[in-house]
Amino acid sequence: ATYGSVNELPRLKWDFLIVGGGTAGSVVASRLSEDPRFNVLVIEAGPTNEGALLTIVPGLQSRLPRTAYDWNYTTVNIPGYNNRSISYQRGHILGGSSSVNGMVFTRGAASDYDRWARVTGDPGWSWDKLQPYIKKHERFQTPVDSHNITGQYNPKVHSSTGMMPTSIIGFRHPSVDVLTLTAIQQLGGEFKYNVDFNSGMPLGVGWTQSTIGHDGTRSSAATSYLTPQIQARNNLHIVLNTFVTRILESPSPGLKKLTIRTVEIHTQNGPPITMTASKELILAAGAIDSPRILMSSGIGDRNDLEAIGIPVILHNPSVGRNFSDHPSLNNVAFALKKPVDVGPWVNLGSDPELQAQALELWQTNRTGPFTALVRDDHLGWIRVPNSVLSDLGLEDPSSGPTAANVEMLIGAQTGTSWDAPLRLSSPGSRGYVALRSSNPLDPAIISPNYFSHPFDIVAMREGIKAAKRFVSAPILRDNIIQINPPWANASTDDEIDQILRETAMTNWHAVGTAEMSPKGATWGVVDPDLRVKGVKGLRVIDASIMPHIPCAHTQAAVYYIAERGADLVREAWD
């Protein structure tokens, strides 16, 4: 059952308490409550996703920032971004960030997961061992426009029996696609056609896949794992609009080890409410808020916590560190002499009339441009040339030679320019999340520290060069005037770097702030079974636990972590 406030909750005994009904939390709740022996309560700060049109219609995603569905965070001034601070979106709604994200569906490289297995000493995190979870997650379907997708994906690497509807992009731009596909045929090499970048081998250019199924609506963790039927389970309870401030030591007669299975819940007009799980407490509040809750509760760096007056219950300097994210650059585009025909929706982004028509089409029969969000039909995954790295004496931070350093979205949204927005897929920079004060209601300090590692700015620069190589394909080059501002007059590396620092943004892929490390390691926050080090009764299962960021949009990896995480919990209580 689902409750609108903590006052409506029946007084029950909870086996498992899950803090955060986001991407990972929804999966864990769904899987644990498959076992009728377990009584599960999810505590979610945001409202229900039910009927929230902005989260249902893919094309309305851009209207989500700064609504009630957004935590509305802002980073500190980022030195590598010329001291700019940027807004940092996070989902504040059932389904969490999966209810507000861009729905791009990418898994990354097999070597990303193999590296997790290597650094944690647990082969269970390897690409091969995760396959059952990859399959349990996905329900690949024909796209909403029912076009023939033979040759646009590899059915062998997809599952049609899992929980979450996914597909190939279902609203395409045929005149752009012809140019892209011809260009990659002409260029080959780094731009070779990759029939399916979700095979574990992402390099090359392939058709965009998204977490939108045949019905043209967003698939989120809430719509897929917490369907009305699943929410109706007798042993699954979800309380919305309820904010967890801290987690507390629980009475544990006879146990010497620090035991934490109690949550403290904020109430408007009264003292906080506490609840204790009889089996386990699971933090799934995401890469910003899971470390925030740990630190507010006295688990973190002793010096930092004492400096703001928080009594330390467990000294662990890794909490909140290792923040990793993908910087993005949306302004890489080339002016065209002759426009490409992108159809009647060309001004969709700016014309309210067209947007109203698109919404009507979506509502009437699930057609039109609002059945997709990303308007780039192809994604490219590229490497920084080894020669560039060796000349500069830089190491490649990616997980290996088959992983991507840079992602290039490929399209021509307005028809008047050829677009190549870039994402840095294998950043070397690491930032942190910290507390502002001892008040657990204060938002955390988010310090992403982008472009603090020398590789990152080099890789972005190389991404721009790769975009220039792309438009040098015979099919495109005669139609290209030049790269658009702000790049048109930047010729030296210094000039390019300045523009990078002035204009780069984020892809909202924060991970790593409660990283896994081997059992017994002197660093890290959780063991490979996701138990918080030095604590009994407490796990973290969400994006925070990734030791390294995959070269992919991060939701797929979070689903796999949550699927396996739920299994690890279940095994412990079998």
Ligand X SMILES: Cc1cc2nc3c(=O)[nH]c(=O)nc-3n(C[C@H](O)[C@H](O)[C@H](O)COP(=O)(O)OP(=O)(O)OC[C@H]3O[C@@H](n4cnc5c(N)ncnc54)[C@H](O)[C@@H]3O)c2cc1C
Residues 137, 158, 509, 548: which is the catalytic one?
509
Please state the length of the chain: 574
CA 17 to chain centre: 23
Contact status, residue 541 vs residue 564, Cβ threshold 8 Å: no
Q: Which is nearer to ligand X, 133 or 334 (CB)?
A: 133
Q: Which is nearer to ligand X, 209 or 496 (CB)?
A: 209
User: Interacting stretch for ligand X, rule CB under 6 A, among 84-92, 200-208, 311-319, 424-432?
Assistant: 84-92
Tell me if residue 92 is catalytic: no
* 59 part of the interface to ligand X, by CB under 6 A: no
The structure tokens listed for 310 are 């928080």
- Contacting residues for 446 by C-beta, under 8 A, at least 6 apart: 73, 74, 75, 76, 88, 288, 323, 431, 433, 510
- Contacting residues for 239 by C-beta, under 8 A, at least 6 apart: 2, 3, 5, 6, 8, 9, 41, 42, 43, 44
Query: Does 508 carry a binding-site annotation?
Result: yes
Measured between alpha carbons, how far is 410 from 378 in angstroms, rounded to an integer?
Answer: 5
Tell me if residue 553 is catalytic: yes
Measured between alpha carbons, how far is 387 from 490 in angstroms, rounded to an integer?
Answer: 23
* 46 part of the interface to ligand X, by CB under 6 A: yes
Contact status, residue 163 vs residue 95, Cβ threshold 8 Å: no
Window 218 to 247, contacts with ligand X (CB under 6 A): 243-244
Q: Residue 238, class by beta-carbon neighbours within 10 Å (0-12 exposed, 13-18 middle, 19+ buried)?
A: buried
- Minimum distance between the CB of residue 391 and ligand X, rounded to whole angstroms? 33
List the Cα angle 23/548/524 in 5-degree steps.
Answer: 90
Q: Which is nearer to ligand X, 101 or 483 (CB)?
A: 101
* 532 part of the interface to ligand X, by CB under 6 A: no
Residue nearest to ligand X (CB): 22
Contacts with ligand X by CB under 6 A: the residue count is 40
User: Interacting stretch for ligand X, rule CB under 6 A, among 281-289, 423-431, 469-477, 485-493?
Assistant: 281-289
Applying CB under 6 A, which of residues 9, 372, 406, 543 lies at the interface with ligand X?
A: 543
- Listed in order, strand segments (DSSP E) in 358-403 are 378-382
* 98 part of the interface to ligand X, by CB under 6 A: yes
User: Interacting stretch for ligand X, rule CB under 6 A, among 44-52, 145-153, 173-181, 416-424?
Assistant: 44-52
Applying CB under 6 A, which of residues 115, 509, 531, 533 lies at the interface with ligand X?
A: 509
Query: Does 102 carry a binding-site annotation?
Result: yes
Applying CB under 6 A, which of residues 205, 526, 558, 566 lies at the interface with ligand X?
A: 558
User: Interacting stretch for ligand X, rule CB under 6 A, among 179-187, 229-237, 389-397, 555-563?
Assistant: 555-563
* 254 torsion bin: left (phi>0), alpha (psi -120 to 50), beta (else): left
Applying CB under 6 A, which of residues 31, 69, 92, 209 lies at the interface with ligand X?
A: 92
- The single residue listed with the structure tokens 């500190």 is 76
Closest CA to 545 of 559, 533, 528: 528
* 553 part of the interface to ligand X, by CB under 6 A: yes
Contact status, residue 78 vs residue 448, Cβ threshold 8 Å: yes
- Minimum distance between the CB of residue 567 and ligand X, rounded to whole angstroms? 17
Applying CB under 6 A, which of residues 31, 90, 139, 375 lies at the interface with ligand X?
A: 90
Window 327 to 386, contacts with ligand X (CB under 6 A): none
Residues of each annotated binding site for FAD: 101-104, 244, 508-509
Task: Please report, as ranges, the residues that interact with ligand X according to CB under 6 A.
Answer: 19-25, 43-46, 89-92, 96-98, 100-104, 243-244, 284-287, 289, 293, 508-509, 542-543, 553-556, 558
Catalytic residues: 509, 553
